[in-house]
Structure formats: structure tokens, C-alpha cells
Chain A
Amino acid sequence: MIAMVLSVFGGRLVQLQGFDPHSYAAMAAKENLVDVVLPAERGDILDRSGRPLADSIDGLMVIADPSLTKHYAPQLATLLSNRLGVDYAATLAKLRKPGSRFQYIARKVPATIATAAVRAADNRKYEGLTTERDPVREYPAHDVAANIVGFMGTDGPLAGLERSFNHALAGKDGKATYEVDQAAHDTRIPLGKSSRVDPVDGQNLRLTIDSDLQWYTQHVLMKAVQDSRADSGMAVVMDSKTGEVLSLADFPTYDASDPALSPKSDRGIPSLSDVYEPGSVEKVLTLSALLDAGKVTPRTRLVVPSQYKSGDSYIHDWFGHGTIHLTLTGVIAQSSNIGTVLASNKFKPGQLRRYLVKFGLGQRTDVGITGESSGILPSKVQWNPADEDRIDFGQSISVNALQEAAAINTIANGGVRVDPSLILGHATMNDGTEVGTDVATRRRVVSAKAARQMTHMMERVVDPNVGLAPYAQVPGYVVAGKTGTAQRVNPACHCYDGTFTVSFAGFAPADNPRFTVYVVVHNPRNGGGGGSIGGPVFAKIMGFALRRYGVPPTHTPASQLPTTW
């Protein structure tokens, strides 16, 4: 009898140990083994002084099991609506949902608030609530630099740097596996089986943006756009020497912490993605190229007729005049289209295009935003003399705002173009491109002498007697600038529809520039031009920047180059 029993045991033992030991061991381990994802923290996006523009915090989702919560649903719903700010009626319905064992009560709740709510429920013996990890992305600066930073959707990044640097920001989740004692509230079993792969946190992105200056730029621009009843506006502030972009503002814009409040069309970065014809601001590039080529001087005398035939049509100036005698300085100060075209006729074929390419037109700035437009510079084949006449004064070509600002900054930086940068140091975009101040390149476009001559000519633009933009003056400082008012292309008819883009670009202090500021306002409806709308915006932003960075006045008198002869 005993032998029979023992042989049964023996047979079972052989079966367990001999034939199939692993599956039983695995089943036993599975009972107690837990896998935990160790979340990698998404990198922060910081401004130049380290203040966060985007920040990740621990978040939790609160989940209910209605089969347990239905017994005390009203009390629990009251508690949850008080603690988590969720809707009482909707929560009550979820807590009572028949046949369900899984209902989201709230998503992306800061961890402290979620755990406090669940603990309060536990204390009152309401069972059936659990939490799961659900990281929260916060944008503490709201709309400040939202156009640049972008935002995260529920499933991933949707715009701006969040999208173009997603790989670098995201990091890599880690993993831990260990045995727990389920009877003892999942306490880890000491000396139990365990393995761990540490998470790799995402990289922080440090921007060149100064969030205080960015705020001021955005709000001054907002006021200008609204006062002139315009469609939209853009403003750029660059450090003249380093090319660091201190502000890049768009209006209208959106609140990155609640993008859904704004229409989809406002959630982008038009200053990089949209192109427009720059108008007369571009004369700075044309004429400094002419100066560099040695074809003209600031005192070159021009006889400017009332109109000028180019191709099948006539070019006019913004102000009606008979035949007038302007110097090249006068052409800039009075923004004469005809004068610019007359001077530019001295270019050899293809020469202007080569200069404009060196100024960076027709090429993306590659500051780190996917979806940047490269602007439109006609190809060598498309280039023709009638178009060149119009390109001389900034029509028939298109730019994005940062491209144009970087081109003007070439003059401020003594004729050397420096790549604009949004990233302090360097960082790698999703496509592997390395961008940032560390990899910004410089190239000479025009001679230092030509840049100096152009600066002196631009100082006359803000002169109240001979220039167009006296409102662009910053008291105590010498400012060099240029107005622009360009006809706008209507994409519907591919024609000029009679609306305008007004702008002002300039830098200060003119003899040792620290900042280059470029302001663009699209379709103002108050009849203003680049000087009257862009000028005051420029002066405010420039004044704020000079004061904020403690730039002393240089005490050099502004140039008194003659504008007429």
C-alpha cells in the first residue's frame, strides 16, 4: 500500500522535475514578478538664462473600476469633482457604468493632486480607484515663445522645437523587473530575482531666446498689429555680433499650455514658415552689394525721373515727383525705387543674384524648425532684366522674416553674415542635423568699407528732416535703419491685390551695433507705412533691449551725408 502511494509520488516527481520543470517555475515566477517601466524624463526647453519654457512633471491618470465604485458612486463623484476638478455628472456616470471595469476619471493630473485624491478615497474606504503614470508637459510661460517652442499633443509633439527635436528631448525609457510579495501589498522580496535598465533622460534644449525681451517684443507687436487693424505681424531681435536670436515674435499666436483655445492657423511660426515680398528693406542689400562692387559711393549723383519703364510696365516711386536730383544716400533715405533701379543698372548680369545668395536669400536659415520655408529667389534660368529691376527694391522675390533679418544683420556685423541661431550651444534635430551657436558659420558678403558706408546711409533714414522714419529713433543713440512697404501677393489670384506689407529693419548703436531688430506688419488698414507703423515698434523694442543689456550710448554723431544735389 505504502509502496503504491510512494510510487505515485515518485512518478509525479519525475514528471515535474524531469519532463517539464521550466514551465512550472515560470508560472510561479509570473505570479510574483512585476515589470515596471522606468520613465525617462523629457528634456526641458529653457530660455537663455535657464528659465523653463517647457517642463515635464510627474503626472498620473486616475482610473476607476465601476464594478467596485458603483456602490458609493455619488459620494466618490463629489470627492473627485472637488479634488480633481472633474465634472460631477460625467464622473458619476463613469463610476456607475454597467459592465465596465475600466474608466478614465482624469488624465494628466499632477502626481501630488492625484495621489492625495486617491488617498482621501481610501481613507473613507471607497475602493476601486487606481492611478497610472501619465506625464504632464507644462508650458509655464504660456504664450511667450510658444511659436518657437511648439506643444505636445496627447500622443506626441505637434509643433515647433518639440517636434523638430523630439528624439533628443524624449530620451529612452528604462525597465525594472523584480519579485514582489502580493500578500504584503506588493512589497519587494529581498534577495529576489531582479534586473534593471536605467532610463536615459532627454536632453535639455537651451535657447538663445530672452523670455523677458520676447514678452515685450510680442506685446509691442500685438499692440501695433491691433492699432493698425492689420492681419498679422512678425518681429525679430538678433544679437548683431553672434547671430543669436533673442526674440522671434509672431502675432497672432497661441498659448502653448492650452493650444485648443486658438484656431489652428495661429499655432505655427509664420515668421519662419511664411514668405512675403520684403519691399524696400531689400534696397539695403542691393545698394551695399553695389558699394562692395565699387560701382557707386554714398555720394553718387542720380537724376531720378518721375517714372521708369521696365519690361512692359512702369516703375513709380511712392511719392509723386518730377525729375529730382538724389544722391545714393537720398535714394535710401527717401526710399526711391527708380533711383535704386538706376543705380543697380551698373550690375553685371548675374552679379546681383550672386550677392543675394551670399546674403542668404532663397535658402533656409536652418535654425532648427522643421517646416521652415526657403523663400523664393528666381533661379538663374528664370532671372530676367525686368524681374531684376523689381528685385532691386524687394519685389518679385520672397523671404521669411528671419532670413531677411539675418541679411540686414550682415551690414550691422561689418559685412560678415553670421548664421542666425535659436539654440545656445548645439543640439541634434530628428533628421540628424546639428544646429546651434556652436555650429553657426560666418562668411564675408560685402567689404567692411561697404558695410560702413551703407550704415552711414541708413542713419539718414531716421533723420527727421531727410528720412522717412523719425519715429524709429532711440533717444541718445545713433540708429541705422530702413523702411519697407511692399505690395502683397494674394495667393488666390496670384496677383498684387492692393494690400501692403510694411516693415522696418535696423540696428543700434550704429557705429558699434549690438542688436538688429526687424519688424513686419502684414496688411495694415490704417494707411500707415514702414516708417510710421514699423518705426515706433522698432524704437520701443530696441530701447528695451539696449536698456536691458546695459548698452551705453556711443556719443558718435549721426552721419550728415547729403541726400540731394
Chain B
Amino acid sequence: MSSTAAQGGPAQQVRARIAPWLDGSALGRARLTVVPHRRTSAARLPFVLLVSVILVGGVVGLLCFNTSMQQAAFSENNLQDEATNLAAREQTLQLQLQGMQNPQAIAARAQRLGMVIPGSPALLHVPTGKVEGHAQPATRDFTPPLYPRMKKPKPLVERARTAPTTPTTPTRPTTPGTAHRAAPANTHAHVHR
């Protein structure tokens, strides 16, 4: 295509207009020689160094990164253990606290200090100093025992001796008529489901 363009009309005109020095006479006038090929060899060392540095840096970095990850995994393990231990410790302390908050424990300590539960409620209205309700000195009457009374087990020998002869019968009230209130004394036995 270039050859046809060189011979052809419009293309040649264009070229003449743009580059007048390209026509033959101009070329003849100019003493052109081939530019000698300059062998510019870029220094190899820096490049090799750079690549090596990147390579080694990368490997070392990766190694360090992995090591630190591993390190982190170790310390994570340790911290996890520590957290578990501390959580368990907290729970144990919480448990101790709850044991102390148990109403029974509080009542036992209060009774050891000689405290009793007051019987009649009374309110002191602080701004006026007025007392509402019956303020009475507290007595022991309203403080229930801490523990149920245990039936004292009879000595084995005695139990063996008395058991067959004296079956235990609950004491019956002597005057049921007055003792039992509102008990209908209907004589026939209801059958209940």
C-alpha cells in the first residue's frame, strides 16, 4: 500500500506539503549516515538486587506474618484459657455471694447477732415524725425457728422392744365438739372421688 501511495496523486501531494525535505533533492543534499547502534546496557546489579529484595522480603515477610499469626494463635489459646478460668472464678464467687444472700443464711446470721423479726408493722413518717400502726417492742414470738424439729430416733434396742407392743397413736382431743370448728358432724360417710 505504501508503494501505491508513493506513486499516487493525492497521497504524494500530501506528503510534499507536510515534509518538503523528503523529496529526492533534499535527501541528496543532506549527508546522512546511519546512526551507530549505542549499546546502552543498564546496570544489572540493581535490578537483580531489587528482585532479590522483593523476593526475599516477600518470603521473609510471609514467614514473619505466619509466625506472628502462629504466635497470635498461641496467645489466643492462652487468653482463652485465662478467660475460661476467670469466668469460672467469677461464677464461683457469684455462687458464694448467692449463698450469703440466701434468706436462710441471713436469718441464721441475724439470729446469732440476737436479732428478731418484729411482730406488729409500724411505719415512721420521717418528715412529721408521726408513727402509723402499733409500734411495739419486738419479741421472739414472730421469729420462726431456722430448722424443723427433728424427730429424735429411738435407740435401736428400745425400738425393737417397744415397736410390736405399743403402736403409736396420735393424741386425740378430749372434747372434739368444742375443739373443731365448723366441722359438719353428718354421720354418714361420703364417698369421694
Structural contact, B84 and A111, CB atoms closer than 8 A: yes
A115 CB contacts on chain B under 8 angstroms: 85, 88
A216 to B118 CA separation, bound complex (whole angstroms): 12
Q: What's the minimum C-beta distance from B130 to chain A, rounded to whole angstroms?
A: 10
Q: With a 10 A CB-CB cut-off, give which of B102, B173, B191 has the most chain A CB atoms.
A: B102
A398 to B191 CA separation, bound complex (whole angstroms): 13
- Which residue of chain A lies nearest to B178 when distances are taken between CB atoms in the complex? A319
B107 CB contacts on chain A under 8 angstroms: 215, 219
Structural contact, B95 and A55, CB atoms closer than 8 A: yes
Q: CB of B57 within 8 A of chain A?
A: no
Structural contact, B184 and A477, CB atoms closer than 8 A: no
- Given that A390-B186, A475-B134, A547-B121 are contacting pairs, would A190 and B92 also be in contact in the complex, using a CB cutoff of 8 Å? no
Structural contact, A476 and B122, CB atoms closer than 8 A: yes
Q: CB of A112 within 8 A of chain B?
A: yes
Q: What's the minimum C-beta distance from A356 to chain B, rounded to whole angstroms?
A: 17
Structural contact, B191 and A494, CB atoms closer than 8 A: yes
- Which residue of chain A lies nearest to B141 when distances are taken between CB atoms in the complex? A540
Q: CB of A187 within 8 A of chain B?
A: yes
- Given that A112-B89, A546-B121 are contacting pairs, would A190 and B72 also be in contact in the complex, using a CB cutoff of 8 Å? yes
Structural contact, B181 and A190, CB atoms closer than 8 A: no
By the criterion of a CB under 8 Å from any partner CB, how many residues of chain A are at the interface?
A: 90
Q: CB of A474 within 8 A of chain B?
A: yes
Structural contact, A476 and B104, CB atoms closer than 8 A: no
What are the interface flags for A124-167 relative to B under an 8 Å C-beta threshold, 1 for contact and 0 otherwise? 00000000000000101111100000000000000000000000
B88 CB contacts on chain A under 8 angstroms: 57-58, 110-112, 115
Q: With a 10 A CB-CB cut-off, give which of A312, A395, A527 has the most chain B CB atoms.
A: A527
- Given that A494-B191, A496-B189, A500-B180 are contacting pairs, would A543 and B120 also be in contact in the complex, using a CB cutoff of 8 Å? yes
| A39-57 contacts to B (CB < 8 Å) | 51-52, 55, 57
Structural contact, A280 and B182, CB atoms closer than 8 A: yes
Q: CB of A376 within 8 A of chain B?
A: yes
Q: CB of A561 within 8 A of chain B?
A: no
Interface of A, helix, strand, loop or mixed by DSSP = mixed
Q: What's the minimum C-beta distance from B75 to chain A, rounded to whole angstroms?
A: 10
Structural contact, B181 and A315, CB atoms closer than 8 A: no
Q: CB of A400 within 8 A of chain B?
A: no
B149 CB contacts on chain A under 8 angstroms: 226
Q: CB of A328 within 8 A of chain B?
A: no
Structural contact, A390 and B136, CB atoms closer than 8 A: no
Q: CB of B160 within 8 A of chain A?
A: no
- Which residue of chain A lies nearest to B150 when distances are taken between CB atoms in the complex? A226
Q: CB of A440 within 8 A of chain B?
A: no
B192 CB contacts on chain A under 8 angstroms: 277, 376, 396, 398, 489, 494
Structural contact, A318 and B95, CB atoms closer than 8 A: no
- Which residue of chain A lies nearest to B96 when distances are taken between CB atoms in the complex? A140
Q: CB of A322 within 8 A of chain B?
A: no
Structural contact, A226 and B148, CB atoms closer than 8 A: yes
A493 to B191 CA separation, bound complex (whole angstroms): 8
A188 CB contacts on chain B under 8 angstroms: 73, 76-77
Structural contact, B95 and A57, CB atoms closer than 8 A: yes
A531 to B182 CA separation, bound complex (whole angstroms): 11
Q: CB of A191 within 8 A of chain B?
A: yes
A229 CB contacts on chain B under 8 angstroms: 170-171
| A294-343 contacts to B (CB < 8 Å) | 310, 312-320, 335, 337
Structural contact, B190 and A395, CB atoms closer than 8 A: yes
A529 to B149 CA separation, bound complex (whole angstroms): 22
Structural contact, A500 and B121, CB atoms closer than 8 A: no
Q: CB of B145 within 8 A of chain A?
A: yes
- Given that A52-B98, A229-B170, A483-B181 are contacting pairs, would A495 and B133 also be in contact in the complex, using a CB cutoff of 8 Å? no
Cβ-defined partner of B98 (8 Å) among A55, A215, A544, A553: A55
Structural contact, B134 and A219, CB atoms closer than 8 A: no
Q: With a 10 A CB-CB cut-off, give which of B89, B120, B146 has the most chain A CB atoms.
A: B120
A313 to B101 CA separation, bound complex (whole angstroms): 56
Structural contact, B120 and A475, CB atoms closer than 8 A: yes
Cβ-defined partner of B121 (8 Å) among A144, A191, A396, A476: A476
B121 CB contacts on chain A under 8 angstroms: 474, 476-477, 543, 546-547, 551
Structural contact, B182 and A529, CB atoms closer than 8 A: yes
Q: CB of B69 within 8 A of chain A?
A: yes
Q: CB of B42 within 8 A of chain A?
A: no
B70 CB contacts on chain A under 8 angstroms: 187, 190
Q: What's the minimum C-beta distance from B84 to chain A, rounded to whole angstroms?
A: 7
- Which residue of chain B lies nearest to A501 when distances are taken between CB atoms in the complex? B183
A477 CB contacts on chain B under 8 angstroms: 121, 133
Q: CB of A359 within 8 A of chain B?
A: no
- Given that A226-B149, A476-B122, A527-B173 are contacting pairs, would A315 and B184 also be in contact in the complex, using a CB cutoff of 8 Å? yes
Q: What's the minimum C-beta distance from A465 to chain B, rounded to whole angstroms?
A: 16
Q: CB of B142 within 8 A of chain A?
A: yes
A190 CB contacts on chain B under 8 angstroms: 66, 69-70, 72-73
Q: Which 6 A-B pairs have the closest CB atoms?
A: A527-B173, A140-B98, A111-B88, A215-B103, A547-B121, A219-B144
Known: A111-B84, A313-B188, A474-B120. 13 other contacts (CB 8 A): A55-B98, A142-B104, A229-B170, A277-B192, A280-B182, A316-B185, A395-B184, A468-B181, A486-B182, A487-B184, A494-B193, A530-B181, A547-B122
Binding site for A on B (CB under 8 A): 66, 69-70, 72-74, 76-77, 84-85, 87-89, 91-92, 94-95, 98-99, 101-104, 107, 117-123, 132-134, 136, 142, 144-146, 148-149, 170-193
Report 14 cross-chain contacts, Cβ distance below 8 Å, ordered by A residue: A57-B91, A110-B92, A111-B84, A140-B101, A144-B103, A188-B76, A191-B69, A312-B188, A314-B186, A398-B192, A495-B189, A527-B175, A547-B121, A552-B123
Binding site for B on A (CB under 8 A): 51-52, 55, 57-58, 110-113, 115, 138, 140-144, 184-185, 187-191, 211-212, 214-216, 219-220, 222-223, 226, 229, 251-252, 277, 279-280, 310, 312-320, 335, 337, 376, 390, 393, 395-396, 398, 468, 474-477, 483-487, 489, 493-496, 500, 502, 525-531, 540, 543-544, 546-547, 550-553
